[in-house]
Structure 1
């Protein structure tokens, strides 16, 4: 049995390269090219494997980019459930400007996902036996998918007794929250948007997080705070973990690594606050690797020794 199943409705083939300096109106000669399988749920599954856990990745795939995503995941040892789609899997581009150290991320929209493809994903979830402990939907929805798609998954998960975890934003997240979730992972912008906040200062964010928990339809909220670490909000308590200071290589996949580490720690029987410490350690470790390579276990373990977790009032 696989304890963690991820679903990625909008997977991608991530391309990473570098250049000395970006400039307009001229040909820019890039240095090297790295290809990684991408999309939120796919990255969560990859990170779970890196930390010694077991995960399966469910996603639609189409065209040569979709085939390359499958091949790259197989090479990493990720168990996949793939729905063939007429829509070609999108590609994303990350460019590292060497002169400034800045990273530029270009997220392409991709083709509209046919109803038959996303419905086939739901049918696979419905028929899957045995059911996983956690079902993780992470990432954006592709063009053509209905806003209530994650809400439909939430209802399916509830019927099957699966803990549903969502890392998304906007209307799909809002509608899923109305159905009830075991865990939601958000960043500052996503929480501010879902709560109708004009400014995302620390105090307002924490009040908004407690308000979401207080409605009774959300078991836990993992709020990532970039270089300031993360907060965890539960019905009876709230916690903060500081992030160790590191030199940034790539921020891609840090949130997915954090979520994967939190779930792995939860499956080991760790307390929520201990799981939060592992989440921040993994998110920080992901900053040390290029492209979407994600975190490495040795870096996660080293970072965990530096993470301090405190209870919030």
Structure 2
């Protein structure tokens, strides 16, 4: 009987050791349920446009602008988080640096966008890796606001209907990218991210199809900004001539430096409170 009690005691002790071991990850840190862990994110970098007014990379005129993002990560599993961001970007292009210089079209746009999606990390949350690569994808909207400069003044192009059509200024945007984060403190991670944003519209730059009949445009300003070839001594474009190409829609790319600050969940908040307020 005594031998049976000794065996039972040994099994209980072993079970306790196993439970304790399960509550710690491979790094020796206490296990934390990943679901609901919240982090704040921010990014700062450059934006680059591809579309009808660009026919390749021209180092004389990249048309780069700033890109800024603020958002959050809400952890779902050890490897996956929901992701949401409010972003702002500026891009531009000028055909005088392209093979279609004779059309003389140009634009600049400063747009906000809102994006939500999923981020998948290579290494698990509870292993607390120093370096963690990740992939992400999402869906959102951007507000189009293309402008062009004429006589030293910037004009909004969408209301002028320079191609004789009214297009949506709030198209869908599909986002995909890759990044890496480097843990610098228990709460702060820094890193870099490359993100491509595919617009479900060909009017990010206000150029898509053909030159319209100028008589059908709303006024002289619209006619001047629709066909800018005469400004450089070219003949006016005939209605129906290619102004752009609707085959490929526009996109904009972000290259950003990123910061992620771990807020945590309720479990971690309670543990921090106990640490700050010891009982005597």
Of Structure 1 and Structure 2, the greater strand share is in 2
Of Structure 1 and Structure 2, the greater helix share is in 1
Which structure has the larger Rg?
2
TM-score (norm 2): 0.27
TM-score (norm 1): 0.25
